[in-house]
Chains A and B, each alone.
Chain A
Amino acid sequence: AQRVTQPEKLLSVFKGAPVELKCNYSYSGSPELFWYVQYSRQRLQLLLRHISRESIKGFTADLNKGETSFHLKKPFAQEEDSAMYYCALSFPYGNNRLAFGKGNQVVVIP
C-alpha cells in the first residue's frame, strides 16, 4: 500500500527561524511527490513538486529515495507561511491518485 507519513501535527516557529516539515513515504516504484499548502479559508494549492526541483516562496524539498523522504524546508519563516501543509504522493497506476499525509499546521509567531 502507498502511504505518506507526516509525523508532527502542529509546528510553531518564530518569524525568521528555520522550518522543516518531515514527510516519509512508502512506495516501491517511482512516485511523484508534492507539497500542497492550504492557507486559511483558501483552497488547497500546489507548493512544490519534486520533479521541478525549484524553490517556491523560499521553500525547497529534496527527494531522498534512500530514506524515502521528501522533507520541506525554509531557512527563514515568515508570518504568511502560517498554513496547513500536506505532503502527497502520486503513483503511475490507479488513475494517478494522490495519497495525502495527515498534514502539518504551521504557525509562525511574530
Chain B
Amino acid sequence: GAVVSQHPSRVICKSGTSVKIECRSLDFQATTMFWYRQFPKQSLMLMATSNEGSKATYEQGVEKDKFLINHASLTLSTLTVTSAHPEDSSFYICSARDSGRTTTYEQYFGPGTRLTVT
C-alpha cells in the first residue's frame, strides 16, 4: 500500500518549452502533496506544498509563475515547469500524505522525474 507514482520518469525538452510532471497516489487519497528538487549528491529541497482544491504554497525563492502546481483531485498533483531553461535541469520528486492517517506526518515518495533541458 501507499504507493506514489510519477510520470514521466525522465524527460528531455528544449529550452523555452514547458514540461508537465504528474504525481499520483495510487491507493490512498492525498489532500496534501509536496514537490521537491534534488541536485546530484545533495539533499531534497522542498519547492512547494500542493493542496487539493486550493493554491499551492511555495517555499521562499521558488518562482510560482515558473513552477505551476495544480492539485485538481485527491490523487493527482501536477508540476509544470514553464519556459524551461538548462538551469531547471534536475531531479524532481513528489511525495504525498495519506489523508486518512491523521496521527503521523509520514510522507510517501514517488520515484522521481529526471528533467533535462537542452
A residues near B, CB below 8 A?
A: 32, 34, 36, 42-46, 49, 51, 86, 90, 94-103, 105
Contacts and interface: CB of A to CB of B under 8 A. Distances in A.
Interface of B: 32, 34, 41-44, 46, 49, 51, 57, 93, 95, 97, 103-112
B107 A98 contact: yes
A43 B106 contact: no
A4 B34 CA distance: 18
Given A44-B93, A95-B57, A96-B105, A103 B32 contact: no
B44 A34 contact: no
A88 B67 CA distance: 24
A97 B57 CA distance: 11
Given A32-B104, A98-B46, 7 more contacts: A34-B106, A43-B111, A44-B95, A51-B104, A97-B49, A98-B34, A102-B43
A44 B109 contact: yes
A103 B105 CA distance: 20
A96 B109 contact: no
Contacts of A97: 34, 46, 49
B105 A98 contact: yes
Contacts of B42: 102-103
B110 A86 contact: no
Nearest to A89: B105
A9 to B, nearest CB: 9
B104 A95 contact: no
A89 B16 CA distance: 36
A86 B104 contact: no
A101 B57 contact: no
A88 B15 CA distance: 34
A49 B106 CA distance: 8
Contacts of B51: 95
Contact of A46 (B106, B110, B112): B106
Contacts of A32: 104-105
